[in-house]
Amino acid sequence: MIAPRTLPRLFAGATNRPLSLADHEEMFKPTGHVTSLRDELDASGLIGRGGAGFPTTRKVELLSHQRGHKFVVVNGMEGEPAAHKDNRLLSTNPHLVLDGAEMLATMIGASRIAICVARDNPTVVNHVERAIHERARRNLRGPGIDLHTPPWRYVAGEESALVHWLDDNESLPQYRPGRPHILRIGRGPTLVDNAETCANVGLIGRYGAEWFRTLGTHDHPGSAVVSVTGAVTRPNVLEVNVGTPLSTILATAGADPNPQAVLLGGYGGAWLRGDQINTPYCNESLSAFSLSVGAGVIAVLPRQACGVAEAHRVVRWMAHESARQCGPCAFGLPALAEDLLAVVRGGRDGVEAIARLRDRCNVIEGRGACRHPDGVVRFVRSSIDVFAADIDNHLRGAPCAGARSNQRFLTVPALEHEEDLIWE
């Protein structure tokens, strides 16, 4: 058993190879005092680690009242290009994730588990495949586990897009007018949970809610897996106690101690100014800056970088990754990217662009089928606020040195040609 209040939890016993089933069972021995999974999950207050921060127990509650042939979908798609947490988790301890998925399946009464990993990560796919084989030899009862490998796209990890892929081989988000909406594969109600959430469920099912709550804060218990990138000595995935000051996390990762800003939550997230990095890393404290932990991305932007230029690169890529289903997203996001480019270039066009940018943000927000455009709008708004002084310099025709240099800090994949994008 892992002692309470210790880290690592999810990465306990991790080596550079995935844990075998025997090693995993040795490492994570159940204490045996957990009697009711549902009660423990209720008491643990686990919130989903995929980005939206939705309480897992509410999802389980919703699904357990449904009838039919149910599914549990483990989302290991890792849409964020800056995040590596699901890949790291699935390639260090895939069995913990699968355990959690099996527990969720027992709770809602699901008969099949689908674990989804992007096919662009063949190593992770291999590890998961091997883990599933190992289990198939051990236990023949229980829900069957299938591995699915959709193509990697930013929106393919969105839950309705993932379910659409499983249902119909298309990674496109679906329209959901009323919330909460129950996603279905065929006619079967489907529970979609992030891989890290499943791993946490696996821990709660073994050691109970009280043990789980020994780390983290009251409203946001447990540990969090964060991917630190940007101006760091080495991009890394760390497991941290929720509520640790952000500056401590950055110091552990070997980041620039005096950053200009820190991007939290991924490319649909928002910036935290460099002088606020003593904030505890949990949703309660971050919500004061209208931020959230999101998908666990922490991207550090150093002083010498140009925030507006980085924002433009990110928004241009996010616009390219739109599924082009909804007009406001298909046309609005490229328009936002063009406006940001005009701001980077400065001059009179830039002054017009910055006013237009705010209007367009208000127009686009909340008008897509999924939350992709909302995320981009949040990112653009926060970029305008946080880099306001820099934007003024750009508009006055004196762009910062970062904009003139070719050095870039955020990882943005190369843009593919539109016809080459694979959606199925």
Binding-site ranges for another protein (CB under 8 A):
172-175, 177, 325-329, 331-332, 363, 366-369
Token pair of 256 as six digits: 């620039």
- Which CB atom, from 318 or from 369, has the smaller least distance to another protein? 369
CB nearer to another protein: pick between 172 and 282? 172
Nearer to another protein among residue 259 and residue 368 (C-beta) = 368
CB 50 → another protein: shortest distance, Å?
Answer: 22
Q: Which tokens belong to 95?
A: 């069995």
Q: How far is the CB of 157 from another protein (least distance, A)?
A: 18
User: Nearest distance from residue 412's CB to another protein, in Å?
Assistant: 25
Give which of 265, 256, 257 is closest to 231, Cα–Cα.
256
Q: Give the H or E element holding residue 312.
A: helix 307-320
Q: How far apart are CA 378 and CA 299, in angstroms?
A: 16
Q: In sequence order, what are the beta bridge partners of 74?
A: 115, 193
Minimum distance from CB of 161 to another protein (Å)?
Answer: 11
Question: Any idea which residue has 């008969």 for tokens?
Answer: 111
**Closest distance to another protein from the beta carbon of 178 (Å):** 8
266: three-class secondary structure by DSSP: coil
Among 263, 191, 267, residue whose Cα is nearest residue 228:
263
The residue among 222 and 332 lying less far from another protein, judged by its C-beta, is: 332
Query: 108: number of CA atoms within 13 Å, CB side?
Result: 33
Could you tell me how far CA 345 lies from the centroid of its own chain? 32
Cβ partners under 8 Å of residue 192, min gap 6: 73, 75, 159, 162, 163, 183
Query: Residue type at 194?
Result: N
Cα–Cα–Cα angle for 418, 421, 424, nearest 5°?
140
Q: How far is the CB of 93 from another protein (least distance, A)?
A: 38
The residue among 332 and 375 lying less far from another protein, judged by its C-beta, is: 332
- What per-residue string of b and e applies to 107-122 under the rule 16 or more CB within 10 Å gives b? bbebebbbbbbbeebe
- Nearer CB in complex with another protein: 119/184: 184
- If the CB atoms of residues 168 and 392 are measured against another protein, the closer one turns out to be 168
> Least CB distance from residue 352 to another protein, whole Å?
14
Of the pair 158, 193, the CB lying nearest another protein is at 158
Q: Which two tokens stand for residue 384?
A: 């305008």
Q: How far apart are CA 224 and CA 109, in angstroms?
A: 28
Query: What backbone phi and psi angles, to 5 degrees, belong to 375?
Result: -65, -45
Amino acid at 57: T
- Residue among 240 and 370 whose Cβ is closer to another protein: 370
Measured on CA atoms in the order 87, 89, 95, 97, is the torsion positive or negative?
A: negative
Taking the complex as a whole, the smallest distance from the CB of residue 371 to another protein amounts, in Å, to 12
In 3D space, the residue among 243, 238, 242 whose CA is nearest the CA of residue 228 turns out to be 238
Nearest distance, CB of residue 176 and another protein, angstroms: 10
